[in-house]
Amino acid sequence: MSVSEWSLLVGVCVSGVLALGPWMFMVHAKLAVLASQVTALCRKVDKTSEIHDRLWAVHAQHEAKLETHNVEIAQIGERLRDLMG
């Protein structure tokens, strides 16, 4: 290859890099923003999951207490019937 062919090839390559460079930086910036938003969303989902687990535990405790109260009320009702009858 002659010098003029090499200079033409180098010119085309440099022009291509200069044309694609800003676009690549823009895409990289958008990907960085998306990655940060996905990270924030993952944190929110993890926090929501922890809160959800705690609420289910509280719900289970309250349900057990209600069941205990229902049994106690039934026993009190039976005692009252025995005393009245």
In this predicted structure, what is the pLDDT of residue 44? 98
In this predicted structure, what is the pLDDT of residue 57? 97
Distance CA 17, CA 19 (A): 5
In this predicted structure, what is the pLDDT of residue 1? 79
In this predicted structure, what is the pLDDT of residue 29? 96
Rg (CA), the chain: 36
pTM: 0.58
Give the pLDDT mean for 24-45. 96
Distance CA 67, CA 71 (A): 6
pLDDT level of residue 27 (50, 70, 90 thresholds): very high
